[in-house]
Amino acid sequence: MTPRPERLCMQLLILGVCVGTVTGCERATPVSPTAAPKLAPIPEQTHQAEHEPEPEPEPELAPLDDETQLHALALACEGAALREQLAARTPAQLDSLADTAPPSVAMLAAWERGRSFDASGVLARASVDRLAQQIEAQLDLAPPRWWLEQLASARLREGDESGPPYYDIGLSEHADRRGAWAQGPGGLRVRPGAAMVLSAAKGTLSFDLSMGRVQLGPLPTDPGAALELARARGGTTIYYATFAPGSGGFRFPLRAIDSDSSVRWEAEVCGPDRKVLGGLGYLAVEIIVIESPPSDPDSRALPGRAATVTGIAVFSAESHGVALDVFDPNTGARTLAWSSDFWFAR
């Protein structure tokens, strides 16, 4: 007997549901509604075990001492940075720097602390005197009188009291505040004492020592070029600088030449470190060899006894500032630097 179509469809439907259920049972196991879900396996730990101490962090390097940073700025003649740093200090902090900081910073801090002008715009003399005392105590050398006089000549400019002061250069036709000029080889401007020991041949400038002629270098040919030089008592090393006074207080070279005409070193003098030429510009320079005091006071009178050189001081001044550079006599490294107006940054 053949089943009816409706009954056959119903049987096939029931059979399909059962097959699906069985197949589904083969693919997945029923989970009890009360059973805890399975967790993913714990991955292997890559850090150290708890009983092993963690490595200590590397200690941070201590920052440079404040005075050390200021000293480095001074020796590099970084006037703008120094001015900003010192302007942020209280009067008490400036006094502390003036008493305990390295010489360059101490003199700069003392100058900023004591620098003042009266109602008529004249610089207070006390600040100049204190600076002179500091220089003499540090270098065992009294600053040149002309240099101190030019420093003391500072006057505020009328209508620009917050700007840099003006320094009277004391210029005349054949002299400046430093002294008279003489004509040297090739029209070079030199001081009268140097004119007698300088000569030139084939474009080379020479210094006449008692033991022979020392070649300093090429003879400057720029119109108005000047030369300043110095040597120690009984010494055979010549320290000299050439520059153009009328061009103002820009940086210029300082050279140390030994008796065999070899260059021991060449350094750069910051001087007032003018950045632009505006207004009256005129530079005066004096080079002084710093000698250690002799153990025997009578040794200064002994001929041929060379002094021990401890430094080369270059005092410079122009209408926009007054400055001091000191160099190591053996290497030419700058060991002290001071500027009345932070190397043209005021």
Q: What is the pLDDT of residues 230-271, one digit of tens each?
A: 999 889 999 999 999 988 889 999 999 999 999 999 999 999
Distances (CA, A) of 51 to 42, 46, 48, 54, 58: 20, 14, 8, 9, 21
Beta strands in 231-308 (DSSP E): 238-243, 252-257, 263-269, 284-291
**Helices and strands, number each (H, E), in the chain:** 8, 15
Residues 92 and 82: their CA atoms lie apart, in Å, by 17
Q: Are 89 and 97 in contact (CB under 8 A)?
A: yes
107 phi and psi angles, rounded to 5 deg: -70, -40
More confident residue, 248 or 143: 143
Residues 257 and 266: their CA atoms lie apart, in Å, by 9
Q: Are 167 and 317 in contact (CB under 8 A)?
A: yes
Residue 94: strand, helix, or coil: helix
Q: Are 105 and 113 in contact (CB under 8 A)?
A: no
The mean pLDDT of 174-191, rounded to a whole number, is: 94
What is the model's pTM?
Answer: 0.78
| Tens of pLDDT, residues 8-40 | 444 444 444 334 443 444 444 444 444 444 433
| Tens of pLDDT, residues 149-158 | 999 999 998 8
The mean pLDDT of 267-293, rounded to a whole number, is: 89
Tokens linked to 82: 């120094």
Report the mean per-residue pLDDT for the chain: 82
